[in-house]
Amino acid sequence: MENDLSKLDEIINALNNRFYEREAEIEAILIAVLARQHILIIGPSGTAKSALVTALAKIIQGTKYFQWLLTRFSTPEELFGPLSLKDLERGVYKRNTETKMPEADIAFLDEIFKANSAILNSLLTIINERVFYNDGMPIQVPLMSVIGASNEFPEEGEGLDALFDRFLLRFEIEYIVEDTNFIFMMKNAGRHMQLPTVTMEELTRLQFLTERVVIQDEVYTAILKIRKELRDEGIQPSDRRFQQSLSLLQARALIRKREVVLVDDIIILEHVLWERVEQRDTVSFIVRRHAQDTVIQKLDSIQTEAIEIINMILQDNSVEAKMEANQKINALDLELNELKKSHRERESEINVLHSKVKSMQQEILNSILEPMYFNGENVKGVFW
């Protein structure tokens, strides 16, 4: 498992070194692939959308990759393959799908919203159901992820709402902002660095590990609160969208080398739960407010209180002050024990702070028994 996860680190680092200011998008595309979901990237031409996806396709060895630029005049043959002349002679309306989208593991469709009615229904079925109807026969396709790209969002009334809805993740990308990064990009720094590789077998194992990541009840509770608040704002993502989003949370946790989804993984839902552009800020605000890990919040609170206890003793080194500090630090010790009982899967994380509190506890106790013993600077150094 560690070797497989280290591959993810190598891929992320290599792509970040090649594509500047694309950290969020790189992680999101990997999350989509691990979760077998689809992602939409909106941004002007020249923002490295296709270059990024092409680089990822090269990293995954043995993958069948399909890439196409759609226009208003794109035909079904371009995406799904030409009709077989031999079969047509026999009155069979069958397409030769070799090297086309129905046989792809990963597909990149540029200018996705240029899709016309001639290809839209088949495209929707492949993306949503992973099924392609060839001469009326449903064929299961190996498609893991579709990465769609467009220069702009679809306009209302164009009949593209269903296609837009098929993309679980939605990101908007801009030109490089930082001057330093712009200069590096101009100099092609990192452009010729050798990319790491991952085999399809390794990718399949990572997808299997993603499915095994555990989602705690507190995560479901946080999502329920988000759903209620969005509804109050008139924003109602479908039940299907909520259900599918769980795989994204699992993939995000796996990328961070965790076997458990934490509440802060919910942050990715700010790119999932909006339907219209004007809803993005509201969704982001609500999601971010609930994507705060309760364990981390509690640990931060306990550490802050411990530091306040140290400062109190440094200002007042009397026996009374130390006795009061001892009572307070004992209370923190009890809180940490209770926190470990209720979050056993995060015991090692909690123990990091607990060991510091115990060291402080012993220092205070020793200083009460031996007034000259207490070294406030050493204790303070444990936390700073």
pLDDT in tens, 5-40: 888 999 999 999 889 999 999 999 999 999 999 999
Res 192 pLDDT > 80: no
Region of 36 on the Ramachandran plot (φ > 0 left; ψ -120 to 50 alpha; else beta): left
Percentages of the chain per state (helix, strand, coil), in multiples of 5: 60, 10, 30
Res 384 pLDDT > 80: no
E strand or H helix at 109, and its extent? strand 106-110
Cα 42 from Cα 172, distance rounded (Å): 5
Please enumerate in sequence order all residues whose Cβ is within 8 A of that of 157, keeping only pairs 6 or more positions apart, or say none. Answer: none
Name the least confident of 254-258, 347-351, 376-380.
376-380
**Mean pLDDT (the chain, rounded):** 88
Res 361 pLDDT > 90: no
Say what the pLDDT of residue 191 is.
63
Comparison of pLDDT for 6 and 188, the residue scoring more:
6
Comparison of pLDDT for 255 and 345, the residue scoring more:
255
Say what the pLDDT of residue 268 is.
96
pLDDT digits (tens, 9 = 90+) for 229-253: 999 999 999 999 999 999 999 999 9
Name the least confident of 102-116, 131-145, 166-180, 358-372.
358-372
Say what the pLDDT of residue 379 is.
54
Average pLDDT of the residues in 165-179: 93
Q: What are phi and psi of 171, to 5 degrees?
A: -125, 145
Has this prediction a pTM greater than 0.75? yes
Give strand pairing partners of 214.
Answer: 260
Say what the pLDDT of residue 87 is.
66
E strand or H helix at 234, and its extent? none
Res 1 pLDDT > 80: no
Name the least confident of 63-72, 128-137, 150-159.
150-159
* Tokens 């220092």 found at: 363
For residue 77, how many C-alpha atoms fall within 13 Å in the half-sphere facing its CB? 5
Res 147 pLDDT > 80: yes
Average pLDDT of the residues in 86-100: 80
Average pLDDT of the residues in 187-210: 85
Share above pLDDT 70 across residues of the chain, in percent, rounded to a whole number: 93
Res 380 pLDDT > 50: yes
pLDDT digits (tens, 9 = 90+) for 285-326: 999 988 877 777 788 889 888 888 888 888 887 888 888 888
Average pLDDT of the residues in 223-227: 96
* Tokens 């130390």 found at: 322
Say how many Å lie between the first and final Cα of the chain, rounded: 34
Res 340 pLDDT > 90: no
Say what the pLDDT of residue 113 is.
93
Cα 305 from Cα 222, distance rounded (Å): 26
